[in-house]
Amino acid sequence: MTLLLSFSAMALLGMTHLINGLVAERYPPLRVAFYTHLGGSVVATCFALIFSIWQLEAVWWGLIAGIGSALGAQCLYMGLARAPFSAVVPISAVGMVILALCLSVALLGESPTPIVWLGVLLAIPAIWLIAGGNQLTPILQTKTADNGYRFGFAAGSGFAIQLHALGRIPESAAFSGITICMITGAVCLLPFCYHRTCLPKAYPALASIAGGISALGLTLYTFSRQGQLLIISIIIVSMYPLVPVILGSIVRRETIDAPKCVGIGLSMVATVLIVVGDVLKD
């Protein structure tokens, strides 16, 4: 059941990024991030008032998660404004996974089985390739690569903090913790979104809808933490780029290139190993 929750969370977060990716082509990215957090806070608040309890622990971890989420979004978009996609996004995605795994091992003392570790090791290059990474040498030779890597790693660190913090929220207070996370993220991003624009109001609405989907996905991720290692939840959820890559190719009628195909294949193998390793431990 917990694995199913993890995969469901991955699908919902992937849908969020697909919608936001399409909106960000026509609307300022930081505004997209702001309205995503705003929409997520509205949805999470509604569910929290009905289904959740309010605990100090959830508020604390929600605050940390919200700051990490805002930091990740800010650094990601600043990096994309200064460096190529291939220098920022893959570093952000892989950095998020590696740092989140290190936090789980160091702070929670988690010890996955060898089969799960093998799946994790395969998932890291899979995420790199799916997120748009290719050969490292040409990227290193670009003048903007240094800034790209810095912002990419900073973004990955912020998202890693968010994942780790959300994984520490008690199940009974999941919606309240997500509410605090989303509100905190929106407040942190608000100073960067004060300029008025004459763009259609449909874009903020779509980003807000994506935020609601994201809030549900993050809540399922929090639920998936109960009964399995945080490492497993993190690595499965971190493969969310599969969704925008596959569905995005259908929406835009784009061809999935060879590196992404390899990444998709590796992610499937990694998923099987993680599932098998989790089942065998019982």
Domain boundaries, the chain: 2-114+135-238
Could you tell me the pLDDT band of residue 212, with boundaries at 50, 70 and 90?
very high
Q: What is the DSSP string of 124-172?
A: HHHHHHHTT---HHHHHTSTTHHHHHHHHHHHHHHHHHHHHHHHTS-GG
Which tokens go with 225?
């933490």
pLDDT of residue 82: 72
Mean pLDDT over residues 169-193, rounded? Answer: 91
Opening angle at CA 109, ends 162 and 181, nearest 5 = 15
pLDDT, one tens digit per residue, over 149-161 is 788 889 889 999 9
User: Does position 11 have pLDDT exceeding 70, yes or no?
Assistant: yes
Q: Work out the widest C-alpha separation in the chain, in whole angstroms.
A: 57
pLDDT of residue 248: 74
pLDDT of residue 268: 87
User: Does position 281 have pLDDT exceeding 80, yes or no?
Assistant: no
Do the beta carbons of residue 56 and residue 168 sit within 8 Å?
no
DSSP classification of residue 83: S
Mean pLDDT over residues 74-97, rounded? Answer: 78
The pTM of the full predicted model, rounded to 2 decimals, is 0.86
Mean pLDDT over residues 244-268, rounded? Answer: 80
